[in-house]
């Protein structure tokens, strides 16, 4: 199985998984075959431009075959920083940036978003440094207005057990000492009843068309 096994990726994925759990969600790692079925399951939206990533918005589940931290950040934005699955991902670009910054990974995050469409004619990777800085500052300000960024930190706006989880656990989280054992051991879902997924009869994809995404100011998963 393809596996992004750098120490940085393992550590960042662990931190993000803990955050997902604290926000009432689940990170579920699948084989390619399992993913084939899960992405066809009602309620699951597959990322159109990132291979083998999907979310179940209502259940706050993030599915992937190969966990890579900057892709997880993006899918987390769909699940925890969006009022609905149909919300524009451009609205949480600043939220993603701040989470990447907390992981001290802004450069890698920017590289991974080089083809992120920021206008009908421009991708993030084609902007100058000052243009990127200006755009991200604008996205952060917009995130504050939406309430997905509070006190300079990305927060979850999803209701968990009847209350909003607006506290950001990262400050605490990042003080913890993470061991460096396999990512796999930390992933829930390996023991789910995967055989049931084969029975999923309805095929459902919640994908915005590429053209629609371009109009919304974004072009990726």
Q: Does 89 bind Zn ion (CB under 5 A)?
A: yes
3-state secondary structure of 119: strand
CB 53 within 8 A of CB 46: yes
Q: Does 117 bind Zn ion (CB under 5 A)?
A: no
3-state secondary structure of 123: strand
Q: Does 67 bind Zn ion (CB under 5 A)?
A: no
Compare residues 89 and 168 and give the one whose CB is closer to Zn ion. Answer: 89
Q: Does 221 bind Zn ion (CB under 5 A)?
A: yes
Q: Does 25 bind Zn ion (CB under 5 A)?
A: no
Distance (Å, whole) CA 86 – CA 192: 27
Size of the site for Zn ion (CB under 5 A): 2
User: Applying CB under 5 A, which part among 60-68, 81-89, 113-121, 133-141 lies near Zn ion?
Assistant: 81-89
Q: Does 52 bind Zn ion (CB under 5 A)?
A: no
Q: Report CA 189 to chain centroid distance, whole Å.
A: 18
User: Applying CB under 5 A, which part among 60-68, 82-90, 165-173, 190-198 lies near Zn ion?
Assistant: 82-90
Distance (Å, whole) CA 146 – CA 70: 22
Q: Does 168 bind Zn ion (CB under 5 A)?
A: no
Measured torsion, CA atoms of residues 13, 42, 23, 106, in degrees rounded to the nearest 10: 40
Q: Please count the helices (runs of H) and the strands (runs of E) in the chain.
A: 8, 10
Q: Does 39 bind Zn ion (CB under 5 A)?
A: no
**Bridge partners, residue 63, by sequence:** 28, 54
Compare residues 99 and 186 and give the one whose CB is closer to Zn ion. Answer: 99
Compare residues 57 and 197 and give the one whose CB is closer to Zn ion. Answer: 57
Compare residues 154 and 186 and give the one whose CB is closer to Zn ion. Answer: 154
Which parts of this chain interact with Zn ion (CB under 5 A)? 89, 221
């Amino acid at each position: 199985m393809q596996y992004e096994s750098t120490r940085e990726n393992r550590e960042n994925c662990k931190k993000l998984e803990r955050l997902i759990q604290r926000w009432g969600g689940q990170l579920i790692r699948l084989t390619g075959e399992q993913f084939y079925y899960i992405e066809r399951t009602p309620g699951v939206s597959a990322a159109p431009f990132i291979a083998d990533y999907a979310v179940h918005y209502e259940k706050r589940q993030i599915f992937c075959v190969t966990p890579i931290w900057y892709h997880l950040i993006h899918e987390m934005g769909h699940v925890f920083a969006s009022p609905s699955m149909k919300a524009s991902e451009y609205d949480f670009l600043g939220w993603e940036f701040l989470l990447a910054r907390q992981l001290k990974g802004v450069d890698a995050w920017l590289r991974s978003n080089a083809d992120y469409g920021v206008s009908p004619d421009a991708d993030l990777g084609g902007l100058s440094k000052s243009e990127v800085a200006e755009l991200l500052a604008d996205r952060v300000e917009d995130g504050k207005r939406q309430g997905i960024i509070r006190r300079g930190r990305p927060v979850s706006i999803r209701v968990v057990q009847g209350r909003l989880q607006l506290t950001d656990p990262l400050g605490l989280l990042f003080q913890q000492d993470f061991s460096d054992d396999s990512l796999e051991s930390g992933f829930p879902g390996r023991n789910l009843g995967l055989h049931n997924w084969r029975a999923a009869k309805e095929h459902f994809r919640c994908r915005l068309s590429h053209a629609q995404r371009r109009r919304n100011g974004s072009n990726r998963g």
